[in-house]
């Protein structure tokens, strides 16, 4: 049986396809292009670092303290809303979701309507095939624009209805209601759940109020 031709000829091509991410986020064991769901789950169960599976390659999902804080706060606020409005459930970044045949993602926050789970239960599959209605990504310094563009397209092609991209550095948010429909919201504004989380509103000032502002660089 002839050997399968690799998808990319070199690391530069691979990094470009993954959105121009830093090379230290690509795991070389197993070699890029050969990783499987089993490999993803093996590293996932260790719990020290989070990975996604993209084009049969394990890609580390960066998560620092500011990003983790923002994600946790969003989850807390959505959960408080769901206590009053039992319309679905919320999960965090360690929830692996098969959004596309070649993409297993772990959104920092996701919300799934009970309409996608009519029996009113949360599935227990290690890699879920239940597509969330809302996917939230909190940007880390090593995330690139092209990487997030690809991830956003994966979400919408997979059936996600709303994507929020939160940027702690600029204290802004992007609300994407479709692949090519985006509203940019600054710190003085609010992000809302639209038809996905009707009645849910999150003022960005409240989201960022406890987050330390970036220290200005001292002039020499």
pLDDT of residue 120: 96
Q: Tell me the chain's radius of gyration from C-alpha atoms.
A: 18
In a domain, 152, yes or no: yes
In a domain, 192, yes or no: yes
In a domain, 2, yes or no: no
Alpha-carbon torsion (142, 65, 194, 86), positive or negative: positive
Portion of the chain with pLDDT greater than 70, in percent: 94
Tell me the mean pLDDT in the region 125-129: 96
Burial class from Cβ neighbours inside 10 Å (0-12, 13-18, 19+) for residue 189 reads: middle
Do 106 and 28 belong together in one domain? no
b vs e for 33-72, b when ≥16 Cβ sit within 10 Å of the residue's Cβ?
A: eebeeebbbebbeeeeebbbbbebbbbbbbbeebbebbbe
Long-range contacts of 76-80 (CB under 8 A, 24+ apart): 77/202, 78/109, 78/111, 78/197, 78/200
**What is the domain count for the chain?**
2
Range of the domain at 79: 65-208
d(CA 36, CA 9): 20
d(CA 203, CA 187): 8
Do 70 and 151 belong together in one domain? yes
Q: Is the pLDDT of residue 1 over 50?
A: no
3-state secondary structure of 15: helix
- Output 48 or 75, whichever has higher pLDDT: 75
| pLDDT band per the 50, 70, 90 thresholds, residue 105 | very high
The pTM of the full predicted model, rounded to 2 decimals, is 0.93
pLDDT of residue 216: 64
Instruction: Supply the CATH number for residue 183's domain.
Output: 3.90.1570.10
């Amino acid at each position: 049986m002839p050997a399968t031709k690799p998808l990319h000829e070199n690391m530069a091509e691979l990094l470009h396809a993954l959105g121009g991410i830093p090379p230290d986020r690509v795991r070389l064991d197993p070699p890029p292009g050969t990783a499987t769901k089993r490999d993803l789950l093996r590293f996932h169960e260790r719990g020290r670092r989070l990975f996604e599976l993209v084009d049969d390659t394990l890609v580390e999902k960066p998560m620092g303290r500011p990003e983790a804080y923002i994600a946790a706060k969003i989850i807390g606020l959505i959960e408080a809303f769901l206590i009053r409005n039992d319309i679905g459930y919320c999960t965090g970044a360690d929830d692996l979701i098969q959004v596309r045949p070649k993409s297993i993602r772990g959104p920092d926050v996701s919300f799934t309507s009970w309409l996608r789970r009519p029996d009113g239960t949360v599935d227990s599959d290690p890699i879920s095939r239940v597509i969330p209605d809302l996917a939230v990504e909190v940007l880390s310094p090593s995330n690139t624009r092209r990487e997030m563009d690809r991830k956003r397209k994966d979400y919408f092609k997979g059936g996600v209805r709303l994507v929020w991209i939160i940027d702690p550095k600029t204290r802004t948010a992007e609300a994407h209601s479709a692949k090519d429909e985006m509203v940019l919201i600054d710190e003085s504004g609010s992000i809302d759940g639209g038809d996905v989380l009707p009645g849910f509103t999150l003022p960005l000032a409240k989201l960022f109020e406890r987050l330390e502002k970036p220290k200005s660089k001292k002039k020499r």
